[in-house]
Amino acid sequence: MRPPTLHALLCLCSCLTLVRPFDWQELNPVAHIESSARISKLQALMAAAMFGQTKIPTGNGPYSVSCTDLMFKYTNKSTFLRVYYPSQGDEHSETIWIPNKEYFFGLSKFLGTRWLMGKILNSLFGSMTAPVSWNSPLRTGEKYPLIVFSHGLGAFRTIYSAIGIDLASHGFIVAVVEHRDGSASATYYYNDQSAAEIGKKTWLYLKTLKHGEEEVPLRNEQVQLRAKECSQALDLILCVDCETKNVLDLEFDIKQLKDSIDRNKIAVMGHSFGGATVIQALNDDQRFRCGIALDAWMLPLAEEVLSNFSQPLFFINSERFQYPANIIQMKKCDSPGKERKMITIKGSVHQNFADFTFATGKMIGHMFTLQGTIDSKVALDLTNKASLAFLQKHLELQKDFDQWNDLIEGKDENLIPGTNIDTTKQPVTLQNCTGTEKQNLD
């Protein structure tokens, strides 16, 4: 099994080698910086392969949406967030999807390729935009529920914009944490105020397994740190008396944001490794009233955590990613008197929950499992509507999201109640993120 969240980028690299094969051993990324002509040729070839590409969709709710970045404090212990929120006005502008070339370099490291691949990916996707305005004033006059979102392994804060935009368009504030535990493909921080003032970023790239290193202890350590980062983000957002300055020095009113959050209506949500982070965060922090785990990767979690928390939990799975051992671990979260729901989206793949599903055309998307047989917009719509119905019920919202309550039960032609995985007839294995499997002897 490939790494859960950035399988997409491996697919894109594979696309490039299909379109124009490279002998990577002959390329020196320092001495042979690619020419603009080569990049233009690659872009043209990739454009042909991406015929039929769709854009990241706009939100379906009644609110206009904007986004901003918040960074609190300095060093690698700082908190870094992409925040989506209801905004004033009816602005229809765009924001760069992946804002720094270093993220593409981090992706190239994650894929095990040379830095040149990062330059190619930057050239191909560096100008791609998301349909959301940047740094617009927050829409005031009401209190909004808050969702803290945790990204997957090898991902970062900007690549769940389709989910963030849609939930914000329905009246939520969505804070996507960029994790500092070594699970993001890349992230940056400032060492101190002087570094921030001159824009001197310190980049932190993906932590890879050392030769012979066991994966489970590392991932368990990371998932605990990730949950703490979610709680730390919550501390900083909710602390009215704290003087929280945005290190990025953007003209955004943080106090207004704090004053606009309904402090009793807070949820945690995440994808893949972020789905495991949801469960760890529910266990560690009672302020999260419920959680939504999108295609959760359960390997990082300790057994005792699975049945130890009481808040409601909703698993939304893809049809093609899950496997018996993972579903068995999900079912260990079940306990009498605790709300646990699970649905599976027919024809969906792991990347249907991330923006990568909109990054290529249908041919390449299907060939390399960036897209499933279900239309990506339909899968996203089902995910968000089911999530909204679940959030209304457990955050006690006075909205009309209960019109989608049937989706929570899997009542739709594109949904399976529970799971499509038979856990009784197949060998039970725990898969790690490097393609090997660990036998479960229970």
Q: What is the DSSP letter of 351?
A: G
| Contact (Cβ atoms closer than 8 angstroms) between residue 387 and residue 169 | no
Residue 89 CB contacts under 8 Å (≥ 6 apart), including other chains: 64, 136, 137
Residue 23 CB contacts under 8 Å (≥ 6 apart), including other chains: none
Q: Considering 7, 151, 170, 350, which one is annotated as catalytic?
A: 350
Q: Considering 66, 87, 133, 272, which one is annotated as catalytic?
A: 272
Q: Which residue has the tokens 């927050």?
A: 138
Q: Is 350 a catalytic residue?
A: yes
Q: Is 127 a catalytic residue?
A: no
Bridge partner list, 315: 293, 342
Dihedral sign, Cα of residue 124, residue 9, residue 175, residue 386: positive
332 exposed, middle or buried (CB, 10 Å; 0-12, 13-18, 19+)?
Answer: middle
Q: What is the DSSP letter of 141?
A: S
Q: What is the DSSP letter of 131?
A: S
Q: How far is CA 183 from the centre of its chain?
A: 12
- Integer angstrom CA distances of residue 407 from 165, 204, 295, 389, 415: 20, 40, 16, 8, 8
| Contact (Cβ atoms closer than 8 angstroms) between residue 368 and residue 54 | no
Joined tokens for residue 17: 């080698």
Q: Considering 69, 166, 181, 295, which one is annotated as catalytic?
A: 295
Nearest to 339 by CA among 289, 264, 413: 289
Q: What is the DSSP letter of 423?
A: S
- For strands 261-271 and 290-294, give the pairing: parallel
Residue 284 CB contacts under 8 Å (≥ 6 apart), including other chains: 224, 227, 228, 231
Q: How far apart are CA 149 and CA 237, in angstroms?
A: 14
What is the set of active-site residues? 272, 295, 350
